[in-house]
Amino acid sequence: MTEAVLTAETGWIILGAFSVAWIALGWFWGRRHRTFDGHVLAGRNVGLALATATAMATWVTSNTTMTAPQLAYQLGIWGMVGYSLGAVGLMMFAPIAERVKRLMPNGYTSGDFVRTRYGRLGWLVFLLISLFYGLGWLVSMGMAGGVLLKALTGIPYHVGMLTITLVCVGYTLLGGLSAVIGTDFIQSVIILVGLVVVGVAAFTHLPAAEVHSHLAENRPELLNLLMPASIMFLFNNLLFGVGEIFHSNVWWSRAFAFRKGKGFKAFFTAGLLWLPVPVAAGAIALAAPGLGINVPALDMVGPLVVGRLLGTAGAVTILIVVFCSLASSLDSLLAATSDLLVEDVYRTLWRPNASGRELRWAARVIVLVLGALAIVLCWGRLTTLAEMIHFTGAFVASTIWPIAAGLYWSKTNRYAAILGMILGSAAGLYAYFTIGFFTAALVGAIVSMLCVVAGTLLFPQPFEWSRLGELRRPEEEA
Amino acid sequence: MSPPTIKCPENTSNTGAYRISWKGPDDVVYRLEENGTLLYQGPHKASTVTGRQAGVYSYRVGLMSETSREVQSWSQPCRVEVSPPSLALALTLFSLGLVVFLSTLVLIVRGHKKHRRGELQ
């Protein structure tokens, strides 16, 4: 039981207005594309401004705006700084985006790369990791939607979660990647302006010196730069972010969709723009003890502090910002996971000669199924957002070296890469349960790197890069 | 009214951050104490504790009387042990993380230079 800052009516008005806008825009942008490429990759012709905005907005997830405060409140200064290191993943993906665009002019998914580079076994392992992560991310965002609306407006968790998920499913279904990227552009502007307004207003109300003195007196561990969990979390989060971006089709589909020559600049700029966002969002949470705010659940700390500090105006702003950040990621994930399933499962395994029209319909059906699955999995609200997300860290970090070495080394051993993903995931999970959530990605990445490097040095396997250019597009109807 | 039932985390906390929750009637005021000191007083039925150093912490929650504003009945106490990982383990994993990050960075930067020179086609 918590006191909501806004009334449920206000919540519904904001939610309703933005939902109608996103769905209308999704329908509007979706009309232009009548081919499979148009639907899933926005015609492979996205310019620099839209490209940068979509990369930034997609990475500012509900996890950023809600989990960054949670981690600052839980792990202190390093929790906040560590979360901002997630920007490194975007910047490191910049050269990869340029390379995959050149190597795979007809590519659709990260699965296309892994299948061609490492064969069907490696592809299967990768697909399982990718789908597991995708579902975890979907669930964490669906949960975030419910938590946010409940904290700020008192709308019951299940109603809020259901509404936000259905809206995102709706406009992704109508507009494909064009709708996702177009809405991302608007959402990124709202997110940046909103965070600046909230950050400035919050620290005007409560000076940083006051926050510091209260923490030093009552929660000294949050300021302790040698807090063991926080120290481990720093590189854990960095590698988690790198793993998320390197393997996920959310980012690969963007690399394919961006106009030639724009991928590097777009991802690098987006990383720079993203860097301060978790610090701004996280710092707010450190004010909670000083304000005497009781935090019933960790993932509610951000909205609660903003609501208390800035009252109705702050709560409205944070509701809009988090709703935008949530929608910008949920839609991207729905679209990218759907593409992965259509290209890697439906087309590759079942219907290799399917027409573009058939694939477009398959993509829409899969978006619907994914939305339904996310709702079912979110229903029980099994764990906190951060725990949910970091559980998947073991898996995604184990893909960093198989992806990077597969792209830049011509002699990467395929079995070493596969073993790296399996052993890395297993070791990361072991660390998650025996040491803590803040080590899963770190340990997964270490073990995976050792496997790939050792296997490749001992048993190099030559690969012809030209094979990646042999992927074909589906036949489009006249 | 019967006293509230308090619930502490079953496992030892390795971050010094955990959630204490309790069961009891709605729309009443509760008082949560940590080692005998007031931590929270209000209508919520949970509180997240963070920033705790290594040690053992004892919690109890009381149901406040509506008229006298004094505690009417206390829950059974429960204890939480905070035991962070060792600093040596933390620094070892930190160093290994740094090595993995720098190695990945070198791999990509070198690869990107070769890619731009057209050596990886």
Within the 17-36 window of chain B, which residues sit less than 8 Å (CB to CB) from chain A?
17, 19, 21, 26
Q: Which chain A residues touch B7 with a CB distance below 8 Å?
A: none
- CA dihedral sign, ordered A189, A191, A196, A200: positive
Residue A477 pLDDT greater than 60, yes or no: no
- Both B99 and B45 in one domain: the answer is no
The mean per-residue pLDDT over the stretch A275-301 comes to 85
Binary contact (A228, B110; C-beta < 8 A) = no
**In B, which residues are within 8 Å of A298 by CB distance?**
17, 19, 48
Top-confidence range, A140-154, A445-459, B12-26: A445-459
Q: What is the DSSP string of A204-256?
A: HHS-HHHHHHHHHHH-GGGG-TT-HHHHHHHHHHHHHHHHHHHH-HHHHHHHH
What tokens were used for A331?
């839609």
Over the stretch A21-71, which tens digit does the pLDDT of each residue have?
Answer: 988 888 888 777 778 888 778 888 889 988 998 888 888 776 677 778 888
Structure tokens at A117: 């580079």
Which tokens is A82 given?
């560590």
**Claim to verify: residue B76 and residue B46 sit in the same structural domain:** yes
- The reported pLDDT for the residue numbered A63 is 66
Mean of the per-residue pLDDT values for chain B? 93
Count of other CB atoms within 10 angstroms of residue A462: 7
Q: Calculate mean pLDDT across residues A458-464.
A: 96
Instruction: Give the Cα separation of B8 and A436 in Å (integer).
Output: 18
The rounded distance, in Å, linking the Cα atoms of A440 and A446 is: 10
Superfamily for domain range A8-384: Sodium/glucose cotransporter (1.20.1730.10)
Residues B30 and B49 in one domain: yes
Average pLDDT over residues B82-86: 93
d(CA A266, CA A273) in angstroms, rounded, equals 11
| Residue-level pLDDT at A409 | 96
Span of A166-180, A194-208, A343-357, A401-415 with lowest mean pLDDT: A194-208
Q: What's the CATH number where B26 sits?
A: 2.60.40.10
Using a CB–CB cutoff of 8 Å, tell me whether B47 touches chain A. yes
Interatomic CA distance for residues A27 and A258, integer angstroms: 21
- One domain for residues B34 and B77: yes
Q: Which of A437, A449, A442, A452 is nearest to A240 (CA)?
A: A442
Interchain CB distance below 8 Å, B94 and A234: yes
Q: How confident is the model at residue A1 (pLDDT cuts 50, 70, 90)?
A: very low
Please report, for chain A, the start and end positions of each structural domain, with discontinuous segments joined by +: 8-384
> pLDDT-based confidence at A420, cuts 50/70/90?
very high
* Residues B93 and B39 reside in one and the same domain: no
**Percent of chain A predicted with pLDDT > 70:** 96
Cβ–Cβ gap A2/B96 under 8 Å: no
Lowest mean pLDDT, pick from A146-150, B29-33, B62-66 = A146-150
Residues B58 and B34 in one domain: yes
Residues of A in contact with B43 (CB under 8 A): 1
Q: Residue B77 pLDDT more than 50?
A: yes
Within 8 A of A239 by CB-CB distance, chain B residues are 97, 100-101
Task: Clarify whether residues B104 and B120 are in a common domain.
Answer: yes
Tell me, yes or no, whether B22 and B63 share the same domain.
yes
A383: pLDDT confidence band, cut at 50, 70 and 90? low
Show residues of chain A in contact with B115, CB under 8 Å.
95, 98-99, 102, 408
Total residue count of chain B as it appears in this document: 121
Judged by average pLDDT, the poorest of A59-63, B8-12, B86-90 is: A59-63
Tell me the angle at which helices A440-458 and A400-408 cross, rounded to the nearest 10 degrees: 40
Q: Does the CB of B105 have a partner CB in chain A at under 8 Å?
A: yes
Q: Whole-angstrom Cα distance, residue A74 to residue A77?
A: 9
Kindly state whether residues B101 and B77 are assigned to the same domain.
no
Chain B hits for A227, Cβ within 8 Å? 16, 84
Chains A and B form CB pairs within 8 A to the count of 153
More confident of the two residues A477 and A97 = A97
Say whether residue B55 is in contact with chain A using an 8 A CB cutoff: no
Do B105 and B47 share a structural domain? Answer: no
Shared domain check, B91 and B73: no
Can you give the pTM of this predicted structure?
Answer: 0.86
Using CA coordinates, name the residue in chain B closest to A221: B51
Calculate the alpha carbon distances from A450 to A445, A462, B111 in Å.
9, 19, 19
Whether residues B50 and A222 touch (CB distance < 8 A) is answered with: yes
Claim to verify: residue B17 and residue B65 sit in the same structural domain: yes
Domain that holds residue B12: 5-82
pLDDT over threshold 60, residue A478 = no
Q: DSSP states of chain B as a string?
A: -PPPEEE--SSPBSSS-EEEEEE--SSS-EEEEETTEEEEEES-SEEEE--PPSEEEEEEEEEEPTTT-SEEEEPPPEEEEE-PPPHHHHHHHHHHHHHHHHHHHHHHHHHHHHHHTT---
Q: Phi first, then psi: what are they for B55, rounded to 5°?
A: 150, -175
Q: How many domains does chain B have?
A: 2
